Amino acid sequence: MHITHVAGSREDFPIVRHLTVRGGHVEIGRRLTEEALRLGWRPQPCEPAVNRARRTWFERHWPQHHARMDGAAEALGLDPDQDELAIDGLGYVPAGSGCSALWVPPSASADGHGRIGRNYDFFTVTASEVMGGAPAPGELPMASRPYVITTIPDDGLASTVVTMSDLDGCMDGINEAGLAVTLLLADIGQAAPPEDASPQVGLSSVQLPRFLVDTCENVAQAKQALLGAKQYDHGLPLHYLVADAHGEAFVWERGRDGREHVVEFGEAPLCVTNHPLHRHPDPMALPADTEDTFGTYGRLRALYERSKGVTLSGRDLRSCLEAVRQPESGPFRTLWSTVFDPADRTLSSSFYLGAGRYTEELVFSARRDTPA
């Protein structure tokens, strides 16, 4: 395992680290767990019957994660078949965030490369404050230590992900086949803290993107994987923009009735913010924003107006993201902006340093020959 400091200092909001792990999935799981333990993570109690069913589901449908859980058990000195503790979920993400994303298809790109651009918007306070309490002495803002994680397994797809606080989760990710995934809050008007955050059988919200970059090479495979997967969100639904190196893209989301939806715009740019697209498919017929919607409709309209009927370069896409950044006066900040280039198998991120300052664009590759 190799860790490098790539951005920020103790005077800035974040310190960003890039972690590269190579080897078998058991070894990768052990190394990630060791780093999570160093950061203060501890395994979570789980109802034994649920835990047994979780392991069985992962073994059948996501063997890479199942093997990494065996590595976590090694790091913890536990029997991997024990039933009392969930030994994945290497972090914690509370309710509430607002984000914006834009898929530019190859036909609308200046160089023929389809690209995703996204702003990751989140609170700049501690977990205690997010949950309504006072910060503990020395408690850091919960999003102030993001990681970029490159995994290069002996068997399977190499990938690079950006994560806020889950070392086995993913907010932004791309793999060596060129499949890219990013998550956003799907219904900001209905967001509320979960009543019960205990692990369930299947994929949690932040595991789902990691599942896709581990198991899928293109959009067609991703659709089939999602249709066949068991998912849960603790009452805080997210939606996911998925794209591939062949220029295909879709948004995956669930309705309030639990029905699954695939949203596609063909050759047109695909704008995503924080409301269900299947309920509001026309960007020109969106409701007005209220104090509870945190600008989700306005941000989507702004992205649509900037992208419709034009050719966009990578720089133009960055300008679109800058136009919908969260203001310094609001409860959120745009903590990073990422541009995915599936054809090049790269993601490029710029991280918030504080007071309107951002890092230069940092480029990370998902290719197997990524230097250690």
How confident is the model over 163-178, as pLDDT tens digits? 998 999 999 999 999 9
pLDDT at 296 over 90: yes
pLDDT digits (tens, 9 = 90+) for 212-223: 999 999 999 999
pTM of structure: 0.95
Residue that wins the pLDDT comparison between 255 and 362? 362
**3-state DSSP of the chain:** CEEEEEECCCCCCCCEEEEEEEECHHHHHHHHHHHHHHCCCCCEECCHHHHHHHHHHHHHHCHHHHHHHHHHHHHHCCCCCCCCEECCCCCCCCCCCCCEEEEECHHHECCCCCEEEEEEEEECCCHHHHCCCCCCCCCCCCCCCCEEEEEEECCCCCEEEEECCCCCCCCEEEECCCCEEEEEECCHHHCCCCCCCCCCCCECCCHHHHHHHHHCCCHHHHHHHHHHCCECCCCCCEEEEEECCCCCEEEEEECCCCCEEEECCCCCCEEECCCCCCCCCCCCCCCCCCCCCCCHHHHHHHHHHHHCCCCECHHHHHHHHHHCCCCCCCCEEEEEEEEEECCCCEEEEEEEEECCEECCCEEEECCCCCCC
